[in-house]
Amino acid sequence: MKKYISYFRMWLVMGLQYRAAAFGGVVTQFFWGFMEIAAMHAFHESNPDAYPMTMEATCSYIWFQQAFIAMLSARVFDGQILDSVRSGNIAYELCRPVRIYDLWFSRSTASRLSGAGLRCIPILLVAVLLPKSYRLSAPASAASFALFVLTLALAVLVSVAYIMLIYISGLYTISSDGLRRLCSSLMDFLTGGYIPLPFFPAGIRQVLELLPFASMQNVPLRIYSGDLAGPAMYRAICLQVFWLVTLVAIGRALCRGAERKVIIQGN
């Protein structure tokens, strides 16, 4: 376990060095969040009765989504992991006394945390100072904030466990590019990356809330504002734990199978 913790710390420190890239991300995410909120305001004003969330909850959802996009987005992949499979350099990792799944999991988690760590504070500080109709609101309660932190950690782990399946698919195919694009687009849509899940029709939303995608950004961002509370909130947290255990178990099984018969193609 110590070697994976050391590996995690190494990649976390390494990721925190890219400050210029983080600054560019802060500017991009801030203006993107501002445009999203403006569009939601237009939707709300056109038909307030059909709007499924309060504007305060919507603003909080969008600002946290932008602040933690590097941590929760389906578009964030570790290019070096993908390249190691494609180029054949994974052979060096297979020779080491480590478990590939645990190594990649710790590395991917560290990369996501470092990317979000440099971006989230500036975005959230600016969001708090905006006019009321665009502002990041305070949490619904102290309990909501505590559960937000817990579910955000679970959401990161579920996201990484899902992305791990895409990395592992590269061990079974010559190229995983097609599957990566398909799965990342699917994840972006079904996690509420484009439209928060409460905006989906009731029947579709009930199905989506049972899938692993809903256990990612949907749960913590809605808990913070109080949009997700009561029995529905506790059910969502239980589903987060269930999908984390399930996806990790599937990933480990697939990785063990691939390690036994992996073919190194190389360049």
CA distance 72 to 159: 6
Asked if residue 48 is part of any domain, the answer here is yes
**CA distances from residue 54 to 102, 126, 179, 196 in whole angstroms, order as listed:** 41, 21, 36, 12
Asked if residue 228 is part of any domain, the answer here is yes
Asked if residue 217 is part of any domain, the answer here is yes
Q: What is the number of structural domains in the chain?
A: 1
CA distance 228 to 240: 14
**Is residue 262 over pLDDT 70?**
no
Please give the residue range of the domain that contains residue 182: 2-261
Asked if residue 266 is part of any domain, the answer here is no
Q: Which of 129, 133, 17, 123 is nearest to 69 (CA)?
A: 123
State pLDDT tens for residues 148-192. 999 999 999 999 999 888 888 877 776 667 777 887 788 888 888
Asked if residue 239 is part of any domain, the answer here is yes
Asked if residue 65 is part of any domain, the answer here is yes
pTM for the whole structure: 0.85
CA distance 134 to 63: 9
State pLDDT tens for residues 213-255. 999 888 999 998 888 888 999 999 999 999 999 999 999 998 8
Asked if residue 139 is part of any domain, the answer here is yes
Q: Which two tokens stand for residue 81?
A: 């992991």
Asked if residue 29 is part of any domain, the answer here is yes
